[in-house]
Amino acid sequence: MGTIRIGGYQDDLVFTMPDNLTRSMQAVIIMTFRAGRGLFLRSSGAVDGRSAAMNVWLAPSQPVRFEYEADEVPEPHAGLTKVLLKSVDALGGVILPTQGDLDRAAAGPEESDG
């Protein structure tokens, strides 16, 4: 699993997700920052046993670290990166998928009885 850490290294906000999503997010965040723009990240899921949502504004001046479980930094997924960049352009940020979203995507499309 990959990790995005936002902040001053002591009280970081931490987002954990698969390495390939982390790498695509790294590409999107860096491209957005290089353009002199900020973006928001929206995440939802369980926090301390309760359902919660978080919106975080990222500005180019903020320290952001990307960590990977793999021995080498993976290549970004071109299709995923493109979708995330479109989200930044349309919404001003990215809504991170939940673990349920990731599980459904990994399972593939549902078959219909028809």
What's the pLDDT score for residue 111?
Answer: 53
Burial of 44 (0-12, 13-18, 19+ CB in 10 A): middle
In a domain, 26, yes or no: yes
Does residue 10 have a pLDDT over 60?
yes
In a domain, 15, yes or no: yes
Query: What is the domain range of residue 91?
Result: 2-107
Q: Each residue of 60-110: pLDDT tens digit?
A: 999 999 999 988 898 888 888 999 999 999 999 998 877 677 677 667 666
- If one counts the domains in the chain, the total is 1
In a domain, 114, yes or no: no
Q: Each residue of 13-33: pLDDT tens digit?
A: 888 888 988 999 999 999 999
Among candidates 91, 104, 103, 90, which has minimal Cα distance to 42? Answer: 91
In a domain, 21, yes or no: yes
What's the pLDDT score for residue 108?
Answer: 66
In a domain, 96, yes or no: yes
